[in-house]
Amino acid sequence: MMLAPVRAESNKGLSSVVTAVLLILVVLAIVSIIYTSASRFIRTSPEMCKDYVDAFKLENACYLNSGEVKVAITREYFSPDIKMIKLSLFPSNAVWEITGKKCTDVRLEGKEYEGYCDIVGKGYTSYYILDMKNLDSEEQITLSVEDRELCVIGEKSIKSSC
């Protein structure tokens, strides 16, 4: 039994289809990579942060002593998931990030430094203590949360004592 040789002309149509499909896949991959990279730098509008603003509240901020500030943050029970709480101080622009991992310069009330800084749970209020030994007196604190984008929740003046 003899097999007929395959002619090159019969594969021309198939190769152009394969080329077109591969080109489309490459373009989609490039667009996906660019979008993912650029989306980290695009800030959300206030409307997009509304769910976060309604779900988190910076209750209080006050000096415990000359080297620590106590911050109370409340989170509604039906709040969106977040990856990070960010506390920024003015005028120094010092920043504390609470991600649920180990922290060196922030602690939960009743805990020690160098422990885990858990993000406030849904339906709870958490009290964070910020180590400010290397900073001068601060006047203002800003609370931000981040899921995909950074959303500013609010700010408070820091009271002179708790």
- Rounded CA-CA distance 64/81 in Å is 30
Predicted pLDDT at 5: 55
Same domain, residue pair 134 and 90: yes
Structurally, the chain folds into a number of domains equal to 2
* CA gap 95, 100 in Å, rounded: 16
Token pair belonging to 18: 């394969």
pLDDT computed for residue 13 by the predictor = 63
Shared domain check, 107 and 27: no
pLDDT at 89: 87
| pLDDT < 70 positions in the chain | 1-14, 36-48, 147-149
Task: Show the domain range for 18.
Answer: 12-39
At 41 the pLDDT is: 46
Give pLDDT, residue 37: 62
